[in-house]
Structure 1
Amino acid sequence: MAYDAIASVIAILLAFFLFDTELHLTLQTFERFKNTWYIYLLTSIVVFYLIGFYDQMWAYASGVTYLILVAGVTFQMLLSLIITQIIGQRLPFQVYIVYWFLLFTAVAAIRFIYRLTRSKNVLSRLYRDNRKFSTEPVIRVMIVGAGMAGSQLVTELQRQNKRIPLLAVDDNKLKQTFKVNGVPVLGTRHDIPDLAKEYRIDEIILAIPSASSKNIREIIEICQQTKCDIKIVPFLSNAVEGRSDIGEIRDIDIQDLLGREPVILDTAGISEKLKNKKVLVTGGGGSIGSELCRQIASFMPSTILIFDIYENNAYSLQLELCRDYPFVKTQVLIGSVRDRERVDEVFKIWKPDLVYHAAAHKHVPLMEDNPCEAVKNNVYGTFNVADAAGKYKAEKFVLISTDKAVNPTNVMGATKRLAEITTLAINMKYPATTFACVRFGNVLGSEGSVIPLFKKQIQTEKRVTVTHPDIKRFFMTIPEASSLVVQASCFAKGGEIFILDMGQPVKIVDLATDLIRLSGYEPNVDIPIQFIGLRPGEKMVEELFLDEETIQTEHSEIYILDQINTTEMLEQEWKHLKKLIKCPQNADELDQHMQELIHLINPKAAQ
């Protein structure tokens, strides 16, 4: 600040000198300078402060930052001109033009020098590294991608001491003769092995956020021919949303290989539905429930109610939400959806406007062994929460369902189908409340899913087990699924089953192969893949719907199931549901009911 103020005074003095072609100051000119110098000093301090000059991180300056600099100098010059004219100390306009150039040069130069100083001299660091003069290890880096992300990454690495970007590769032939912030582009992806050897590269960083999963997979396979560590930069869309930064270099994750496009939401429409509302999320401490809470909180509801039987996860989530969204009231409510009295108590006291029902038992093999518990939690629990939502006049109830509810061949799938039927039936009972279901497939990284299981097997057992070489599943990330659930809920008008576009199913054996390679091993060489056979109730391929037609909503990744069930069929299923809600203690009797229901929903399953 002091430098800028002094620079403004010196700049106006030099402008006097430069404008005077005789190279001497007349008495009148000197008097004008003596009477106005403080104006330039004060206006520079005030304008530069108000325009945010001193809030900028000049070591990370970009084009926008320098535009702020141009605007600041321009406003300061104009304000000085106006004030001097008002007080009668007129100067020729040419003086102000010269003054502007001198002041801009002065304030820009010092900041540019500062940026260069902070960035340090990359060549000298490389020189020290080559001669082992450096006391700290320096990682020699190759960057894949010479676009915007690659350019930003080079700039970021040049500010650090840990990594030195030596070269970049890009498949665009037009970029081969260019440099990215001083780093040469020396080849394409196919040159990676040779270049890595020639330049003794330690680490390869992928900086191509827009690349498809197929391209990412191909590039990784080429990189694995080297002995280099392989990293990736986050999606630029995440950086824009403030969720990540271009400098947050991380290991390749299985999600990078599945490659789904970032979800585009109608944020204005969602905000209109959620702002200032009380939102209850059952199973709020779980994988899907907790992410729902995070995303809902970003739309500024008045209150988020985290209902869960497990207090540790719920408490951790509450602390996170209070930190990230301090203006949203967050309340943890401990209880089970199976406890009708507790559920009624929660609705009576808090009267939530919106309900997202994510609480459920989801493990197929465990539910085969514990069918009664599956019915209590998934069917009776859904009935309790949905009925309370209608009874206490909540605006909307949304059931989180699964693709295993389609054509169910196992207890878990059947109970989730029953949960859907429950929701549709209660929708007819309480017309004041909107009831809907959202159905999707597997989510990556959820507790008990195949990804954490494979990672643990690779680390501890040095083997991976897959039930069948041809088994396939749909996959979606937890944030993607949660965001689409929130979006779909805004479309609900009552009685719909929404289906999320899961893309193409993925072979589980391919998933296992990718994870093994990402862990630095070779499949069936270092880590064997063993096929152990299908588990009870497990299907080769999951479906999101049967022969029913689907209707696309306003969102390209959300569909509505045009159900072929007649009212008579729904009533028939509802009779079976009532028998199951009573949940007899005799396991054999319950199993018989389950088999009858599975046969009713899917006759082929009972054959």
Structure 2
Amino acid sequence: MKKYLLFNKVVPRWMIMVLDFVIITWSFASSYLIVNRFEFSNILRGYFFIYTALYCAIAALVMYVMRIHTGLIRYSNTRDVLRIFGSVFISSIVYMLVIAAWVKPYMHINSPTIDLVLLVNFSVSSTLLILLRSAVKSAFNYLNNYSTAKKSVVLIYGSDNNAVLVKQALEASAKTNFVIAGFVDNDLNKINKEIQSVKVYDIAKLAKLKEKRAIDKLVIMNHHLDEQEKKTALEICLALGIQVLTVPPADQWIYGKLNLQQIKDLKIEDLLQRKTIQIDTTRISEDLQGKRVLVTGAAGSIGSEIVQQVLKYNPAMVILCDQAESPLHEIRLEVEEKFPEIPIVIYIGDIRNYYRMHKLFADYKPELVYHAAAYKHVPMMEENPSEAIRANVLGTKNIADLSVAFNVRKFVMVSTDKAVNPTNIMGASKRIAEIYIQSLKDNPVNKNTCFITTRFGNVLGSNGSVIPRFRAQIQKGGPITVTHPEITRYFMTIPEAVHLVLEAGTMGSGGEIFIFDMGEPVKIVDLALKMIKLAGLQPDRDIKIVFSGLRPGEKLYEELLNTGENTMPTHHEKIKISHVIKYPYKQVTDDVNELILLNNQGDEMATVSKMKDIVPEFLSKNSKFEHLDNNRPARVTEMQKPASKLLAVV
């Protein structure tokens, strides 16, 4: 039987029907004999057999019609209990009607005690039918819990209806290797109470509980907790070595049941997320509704999110421009399914190709441009400076110049904190792009286009970033490589960053650089330690951390303000405006054109030297270009650590 329950998982319907029939037969017969005080004269005359056979036939038919035998017993709940009561009650009513309409008039059999028999039988048979299901369910859970597979002892965070649903779902599934040890909560009114025979414990006493009950895992309904509650619980679990699992809200369960594939390890992104940012959707809607919008770099992490969010504001058209064919195809399929009523244009092209971009502007005449196309990886651009200049400088210049030529109303550029006091080619190329964008306000030809720059740092989960890399290294068994024990970065989610990009785009009048508040800095080695623990592993024992040294051009700390810049607030607490140095358009254009010419000639050192002329604060670090700084004055800024959280790494 044990093998049958554990491996076939389902008690067959015919077996349930047979057991139910045996119960209703025994119940009615016993009730009849008890009420009639075991008068065997009725048995001898056949009344007992007639009444019993008739009731059993009616009850079997009613229960078959009501299908009380069809449910999986391990999922039995209050609804199933009500169906049992209903079937027994209906059987009794039908039985009384048959007795009154047929047995008494035609068979001349009368039993004055039959009403009392039915009343006793209702109690006995209902109780036994329910007990049968409870017994099978308990036996199933018992055998499953003590099978040969190792069980994980788990706690469920919370003690409300959502937590109870999670408990029931975990207990009902034969495939989970979980033993529910209890609930944990910080609600003093619920602590030490019991819910469905399971105790509610104080979350503050989790350490003692782990030692006493050998707790392995904590299960949370991720979207149900506020950020502070979640962070507090997670920090405790990480310190104790308790693995944290998440389940989605009950309304996302498949067919109303929790699928095991929906139980996931907590991700580091969940731990780093901040309070949801409130944005002014009215202003953004006024900016975007009914407009033709171009997004460059539309297949990238930031660009694709810009596309998704812009489409929510019902633009007249969205043009997705990128050179990456396959990712662009994927996002096309996704957005056309979500927003079938909005025209989507897929434009495969390279922003470095002026003529291809000119055709884009001529054909579709965008009114707003979100420029997210760029090369972003510091070490790769340090090895390939010519491509950084072609993409980040020439490409930006092409899109900006065409925006002026075609009277684009607003141009919003996505920049990076690495453009601030740059120490690498990538950052310097983005800073030059910023300078060119700022100078266009001084361009006498520009009569209509408002140029805005947004500057922020690392986003969680972007392609090739630190978190996906650490996750892949953990999956391979390590080691995790960190460049330096003191390196820090600021993190922001991709949706959060794009929210702020759209909001900043509504604020600018031209030439501004908007800087995002990136929150508190994160030490990368601490990030690695947390990711190891979240995977249920132990640092050093299971996964090693190796320090590989700073890469070419890499800083220990990032900054968000250049030398000579300061900020002023906006109406949004997360967005500041940088007071920037003004750049004359003619001089900047001449410098940028000379840089592009030197780059085309292939003289790498001369090209990088020109970059340093345009951006005097560009001092190479850990790079083959450091010698170019020997005759340059030292920068008068603190290069090692930001002065405040706004001047920080992302």
TM over 0.5: yes
Partner AA of 1:169 in structure 2: V
Measured in 2, the distance between the counterparts of 1:176 and 1:504 equals 34
SS, match of residue 332 in structure 1: strand
Against the structure 1 CA distance between its residues 485 and 299, is the aligned structure 2 distance closer, same or farther, given a 3 Å change threshold? same
What is the match of residue 604 of structure 1? Answer: 634
Partner AA of 1:604 in structure 2: A
Measured in 2, the distance between the counterparts of 1:344 and 1:60 equals 66
Measured in 1, the distance between the counterparts of 2:400 and 2:157 equals 51
SS, match of residue 227 in structure 2: coil
Partner AA of 1:512 in structure 2: A
Query: How many residues are matched?
Result: 480
Greater shift, 308-317 or 386-395, is seen at: 386-395
What is the match of residue 291 of structure 1? Answer: 305
Against the structure 1 CA distance between its residues 479 and 197, is the aligned structure 2 distance closer, same or farther, given a 3 Å change threshold? same
Measured in 1, the distance between the counterparts of 2:134 and 2:327 equals 46
1:174 aligns with 2:186: no
What is the match of residue 549 of structure 1? Answer: 566
Against the structure 1 CA distance between its residues 457 and 549, is the aligned structure 2 distance closer, same or farther, given a 3 Å change threshold? same
Which aligned pairs between 1:91-130 and structure 2 lie closer than 5 A?
125-130=137-142
Which aligned pairs between 1:155-170 and structure 2 lie closer than 5 A?
167-170=182-185
Against the structure 1 CA distance between its residues 222 and 408, is the aligned structure 2 distance closer, same or farther, given a 3 Å change threshold? closer
The answer to whether the 8 A contact 2:352-2:395 is kept is yes
Against the structure 1 CA distance between its residues 179 and 572, is the aligned structure 2 distance closer, same or farther, given a 3 Å change threshold? farther
Shift of 1:347: 0.5
1:360 aligns with 2:379: no
1:150 aligns with 2:163: yes
Against the structure 1 CA distance between its residues 561 and 147, is the aligned structure 2 distance closer, same or farther, given a 3 Å change threshold? farther
The answer to whether the 8 A contact 1:439-1:497 is kept is yes
Which aligned pairs between 1:489-500 and structure 2 lie closer than 5 A?
489-500=505-516
Partner AA of 1:471 in structure 2: I
SS, match of residue 415 in structure 2: strand
What is the match of residue 643 of structure 2? Answer: none
What is the match of residue 441 of structure 2? Answer: 427
Partner AA of 1:596 in structure 2: D
Greater shift, 550-559 or 315-324, is seen at: 550-559
Give identity over the alignment, percent. 38
Shift of 1:305: 0.9
Against the structure 1 CA distance between its residues 140 and 508, is the aligned structure 2 distance closer, same or farther, given a 3 Å change threshold? closer
The answer to whether the 8 A contact 2:234-2:244 is kept is no
Greater shift, 144-153 or 477-486, is seen at: 144-153
Greater shift, 550-559 or 300-309, is seen at: 550-559
1:262 aligns with 2:273: no
Measured in 2, the distance between the counterparts of 1:131 and 1:350 equals 67
Against the structure 1 CA distance between its residues 194 and 216, is the aligned structure 2 distance closer, same or farther, given a 3 Å change threshold? closer
Which aligned pairs between 1:266-345 and structure 2 lie closer than 5 A?
266-345=280-359
Partner AA of 1:365 in structure 2: P
The answer to whether the 8 A contact 2:460-2:491 is kept is yes
The answer to whether the 8 A contact 1:440-1:502 is kept is yes
Measured in 2, the distance between the counterparts of 1:136 and 1:480 equals 46
- Higher-Rg structure is 2
Which aligned pairs between 1:84-95 and structure 2 lie closer than 5 A?
none
Shift of 1:394: 1.3
SS, match of residue 402 in structure 2: helix
Partner AA of 1:321 in structure 2: V
1:215 aligns with 2:246: no
1:576 aligns with 2:591: yes
What is the match of residue 468 of structure 2? Answer: 452
Measured in 1, the distance between the counterparts of 2:480 and 2:290 equals 48
Against the structure 1 CA distance between its residues 185 and 580, is the aligned structure 2 distance closer, same or farther, given a 3 Å change threshold? farther
CA RMSD of aligned residues (A): 3.5
The answer to whether the 8 A contact 1:190-1:222 is kept is no
Match of 1:374 among 379, 388, 400: 388
What is the match of residue 543 of structure 2? Answer: 527
The answer to whether the 8 A contact 1:337-1:382 is kept is yes
Which aligned pairs between 1:586-605 and structure 2 lie closer than 5 A?
586-599=603-616, 604=634
For each residue in 1:516-540, what CA deviation from the matched residue of structure 2 results, as whole angstroms up to 9, or x when unmatched? Answer: 2222321122222111211121111
Measured in 2, the distance between the counterparts of 1:272 and 1:487 equals 11
Shift of 1:291: 1.1
- Scaled by the length of structure 2, what TM-score is found? 0.67
- Scaled by the length of structure 1, what TM-score is found? 0.71
Measured in 2, the distance between the counterparts of 1:407 and 1:246 equals 50
Partner AA of 2:236 in structure 1: I
Measured in 2, the distance between the counterparts of 1:302 and 1:158 equals 51
Match of 1:399 among 399, 413, 420: 413
The answer to whether the 8 A contact 1:473-1:507 is kept is yes
Against the structure 1 CA distance between its residues 293 and 185, is the aligned structure 2 distance closer, same or farther, given a 3 Å change threshold? farther
Shift of 1:146: 2.9
Measured in 2, the distance between the counterparts of 1:372 and 1:365 equals 13
For each residue in 1:164-200, what CA deviation from the matched residue of structure 2 results, as whole angstroms up to 9, or x when unmatched? Answer: 86631112322215456x4745212244466568778
Measured in 2, the distance between the counterparts of 1:419 and 1:184 equals 62
Shift of 1:249: 4.1
The answer to whether the 8 A contact 2:376-2:426 is kept is yes
For each residue in 1:187-246, what CA deviation from the matched residue of structure 2 results, as whole angstroms up to 9, or x when unmatched? Answer: 122444665687787752124521336414323225625xxx53124599x98xxxxx99
Against the structure 1 CA distance between its residues 350 and 509, is the aligned structure 2 distance closer, same or farther, given a 3 Å change threshold? same
Greater shift, 358-367 or 123-132, is seen at: 123-132
Give structure 1 stretches of 5+ with no counterpart.
Answer: 1-58, 62-116, 240-244
Higher relative contact order (CA closer than 8 Å, sequence separation 6+)? 2
Measured in 2, the distance between the counterparts of 1:481 and 1:323 equals 24
Measured in 1, the distance between the counterparts of 2:473 and 2:490 equals 22
Against the structure 1 CA distance between its residues 418 and 344, is the aligned structure 2 distance closer, same or farther, given a 3 Å change threshold? same
Measured in 2, the distance between the counterparts of 1:160 and 1:154 equals 10
For each residue in 1:440-489, what CA deviation from the matched residue of structure 2 results, as whole angstroms up to 9, or x when unmatched? Answer: 00011111111122222223362111111101111111121112211211
The answer to whether the 8 A contact 1:401-1:416 is kept is yes
Give structure 2 stretches of 5+ with no counterpart.
Answer: 1-75, 79-129, 253-257, 620-632, 640-650
Measured in 2, the distance between the counterparts of 1:393 and 1:566 equals 23
